Amino acid sequence: MPDVRQLRRQMVDSQIAARGIAGPKVLDAMKEVPREIFVPADMAKHAYEDSSLPIEAGQTISQPYIVALMVEAAEIGPEDEVLEIGAGSGYAAAVMSRIARHVHAIERQPELAILARDRMAALGYGNVVIHTGDGTQGWPENAPFDAILVAAGGPAIPRPLCEQLAKGGRLVIPVGDADEQRLIRVTRSDADDYREEDMGPVRFVPLVGAHGWKEDAG
């Protein structure tokens, strides 16, 4: 492979910054995290292409721009406690860990959760914890969260995730049918006051769980 650091910088410049992502914390995190570590070995040569890629357990790693878009939309700060639903290979959690104080990520596929834990350990990203379970239930043991990101598309916004937001917290989630969704940002203004913003069309794998699609969805 060519110099991966150069490929990473090119990815950020041409695929992310050029499309309007301007937050320096997000851009720096994307430049730091080695995406090639978070894909199968035979996909490493494609790690910095402008596309999603297949990973283990029949899942995918999102296009770099989409990861950056969601992280920027969540407005993550250095003192924030973050929850990710649908950890997959662990790449987005790794990116967020370079910005936030602490990241909890839930993955329903045990194989992916194990691989994600191994990758975090290998990189020394000690402020990330990977859990296995139904992400649509959130992770109440460590709530409230300043930001929650959902890397799968659900038919509606899961109520438990809204309830686990801190006051002022942001939830970023794709909502729609199994084929196409709208990216929605929910901000909790008060105990029962939530503001929703539509951030445009996206396409994600189905969000499976008690507050998402059934196991055979999509």
The CATH number of residue 119's host domain is 3.40.50.150
Gap between the Cα atoms of 180 and 203, Å rounded = 5
pLDDT the model gives residue 217: 47
174: in domain? yes
pLDDT at 214: 92
Residue 121 has pLDDT above 90, yes or no: yes
CB 104 within 8 A of CB 80: no
pLDDT above 70 (res 1): no
Asked whether residue 111 is assigned to any structural domain, the reply reads: yes
Task: Write down the catalytic residue from 62, 89, 97, 189.
Answer: 62
For residue 112 the two structure tokens come to 């992916």
- What is the distance, to the nearest Å, from the Cα of residue 208 to the centroid of all Cα atoms in its chain? 15
| Domain annotation covers residue 207 | no
Instruction: Give the pLDDT confidence of 46-95 residue by residue, as tens digits.
Output: 999 999 999 999 999 999 999 999 999 999 999 999 999 999 999 999 99
Residue 210 falls inside a structural domain:
no
The pLDDT confidence band at residue 2, using thresholds 50, 70 and 90, is: low
Whether residue 82 lies inside any domain: the answer is: yes
Known active-site residue 62: yes
Banded model confidence at residue 218, pLDDT cuts 50, 70, 90: very low
Residue 214 lies in a domain: no
Q: Which residues pair with 165 in a beta bridge?
A: 145
Instruction: Please indicate, yes or no, if residue 59 is contained in any of the structural domains.
Output: yes
Mean pLDDT of the chain: 96
Q: Where in the sequence is the domain holding 28, given as residue range(s)?
A: 4-202
Confidence of residue 137 (pLDDT cuts 50, 70, 90): very high
The residue ranking higher by pLDDT, 2 or 46, is 46
Domains identified in the chain, total number: 1
pTM as predicted: 0.96
pLDDT, one tens digit per residue, over 169-182 is 999 999 999 889 99
Q: What is the pLDDT of residue 204?
A: 95
- The answer to whether residue 96 sits within a structural domain is yes
